[in-house]
């Protein structure tokens, strides 16, 4: 029970990696505030996960909405001990097709959203005297993929933000980053179906470039995130851990 009496604030909590992390934290004794652009789904998932969880609507690209969600979490769950910034979207295409508005939205949601989550949970964690934050980059921060310049730039920004921020937290607050490779979630399911026709064929196609010859699951990512969130990682801060079945090695 690594998360006994701990409260997790998680954006993107209604789906995929965010949801899987909330489920693990609750299974190990904690409670969670699931925050998502889709507030109705966040409430429904919070109800499914169990007692003590709440669902909240917020667009992470809007600092006031993030701030209000943190305040609601403190009021309803008593504080914030753990945070995961996992809310975000994926969009791809050649650079020539990205106008300024579309490009800035990618940066606002991913880099901005991560910044607003960290900035607004830090005071609540400082009030507790300890805490652990995990941000989400991507293998796209470290390797080139076709049609992926804005997303790759945003994800590299998140890894850099994580490193810089540790000096502004208390020594007792750790901040780390997970860089997922290809993972089966709400984000990739439509791409898998489009490329493969069904999920099995889609995974086979996406898995070809991966030494482990398969995609990751949301729960496998949640396991790595929960390592960073927990005291098992008590002397690790500012790091980015790649969880990708070996794709970036080859």
Ligand X SMILES: NC(=O)c1ccc[n+]([C@@H]2O[C@H](COP(=O)([O-])OP(=O)(O)OC[C@H]3O[C@@H](n4cnc5c(N)ncnc54)[C@H](O)[C@@H]3O)[C@@H](O)[C@H]2O)c1
- Nearest distance in Å: CB 121, ligand X: 15
- Please give the structure tokens belonging to residue 69: 């969600």
**Closer of 181 and 235 to ligand X (Cβ):** 181
**Closer of 18 and 202 to ligand X (Cβ):** 18
| Residues in region 79-138 near ligand X by CB under 6 A | 86-90, 109, 136, 138
- Nearest distance in Å: CB 172, ligand X: 26
In the set 36, 81, 203, 247, which binds ligand X (CB under 6 A)?
36
**Closer of 93 and 186 to ligand X (Cβ):** 186
Torsion of CA 8, 166, 151, 189, to 10 degrees: -30
Q: Is 110 helix (H, G, I), strand (E, B) or coil?
A: helix
If one asks whether residue 11 binds ligand X (CB under 6 A), the answer comes out as yes
- Nearest distance in Å: CB 13, ligand X: 7
Q: Report the candidate in 223, 240, 247 with the shortest Cα–Cα distance to residue 27.
A: 223
Annotated active-site residue 116? The verdict is no
At CA 103, angle to CA 99 and CA 107, rounded to 5?
165
Q: Looking at 35-43, 72-80, 117-125, 197-205, which segment touches ligand X (CB under 6 A)?
A: 35-43
Per-residue DSSP letters for 200-230? HHHHHHHHTTSTTSSPEEHHHHHHHHHHHHS
Q: Report the candidate in 142, 123, 141, 139 with the shortest Cα–Cα distance to residue 131.
A: 123
- C-alpha dihedral sign at 37, 117, 75, 53: positive
Residue nearest to ligand X (CB): 16
Q: Looking at 25-33, 74-82, 142-150, 179-187, which segment touches ligand X (CB under 6 A)?
A: 179-187
Cα separations in angstroms, 118 against 16, 36, 47, 77, 110: 20, 16, 26, 18, 12
If one asks whether residue 162 binds ligand X (CB under 6 A), the answer comes out as no
Size of the site for ligand X (CB under 6 A): 28
- Nearest distance in Å: CB 170, ligand X: 26
**Closer of 61 and 233 to ligand X (Cβ):** 61
Say how many Å lie between the first and final Cα of the chain, rounded.
37
- From 151, 174, 182, 188, active-site residue: 151
Q: Residue 110: phi, psi to the nearest 5? A: -85, -60
Q: Looking at 15-23, 69-77, 141-149, 169-177, which segment touches ligand X (CB under 6 A)?
A: 15-23
Q: Which residues of the shown chain bind ligand X in the complex (CB under 6 A)?
A: 11-12, 14-18, 36-38, 59-61, 86-90, 109, 136, 138, 180, 182-183, 185-188
Q: Which residues are catalytic?
A: 151
């Amino acid at each position: 029970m690594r998360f006994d009496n701990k409260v997790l604030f998680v954006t993107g909590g209604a789906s995929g990696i965010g949801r899987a992390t909330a489920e693990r934290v609750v299974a190990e004794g904690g409670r969670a505030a699931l925050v998502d652009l889709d507030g109705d789904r966040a409430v429904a998932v919070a109800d499914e996960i169990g007692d003590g969880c709440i669902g909240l609507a917020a667009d992470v690209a809007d600092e006031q909405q993030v701030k209000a969600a943190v305040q609601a979490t403190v009021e309803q769950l008593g504080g914030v001990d753990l945070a995961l910034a996992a809310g975000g979207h994926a969009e791809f295409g050649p650079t020539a097709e990205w106008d300024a508005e579309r490009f800035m939205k990618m940066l606002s949601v991913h880099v901005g959203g991560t910044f607003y989550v960290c900035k607004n949970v830090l005071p609540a964690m400082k009030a507790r005297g300890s805490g652990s934050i995990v941000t989400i980059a991507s293998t796209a921060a470290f390797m080139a993929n076709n049609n992926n310049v804005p997303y790759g730039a945003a994800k590299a920004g998140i890894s850099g933000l994580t490193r810089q921020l540790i000096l502004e937290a208390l020594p007792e607050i750790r901040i780390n980053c997970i860089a997922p490779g290809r993972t089966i979630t709400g984000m990739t399911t439509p791409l898998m179906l489009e490329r493969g026709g069904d999920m099995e064929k889609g995974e086979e196609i996406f898995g070809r470039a991966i030494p482990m010859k398969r995609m990751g699951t949301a729960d496998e990512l949640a396991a790595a995130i929960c390592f960073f969130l927990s005291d098992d990682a008590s002397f690790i801060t500012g790091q980015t851990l790649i969880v990708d079945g070996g794709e970036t090695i080859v």
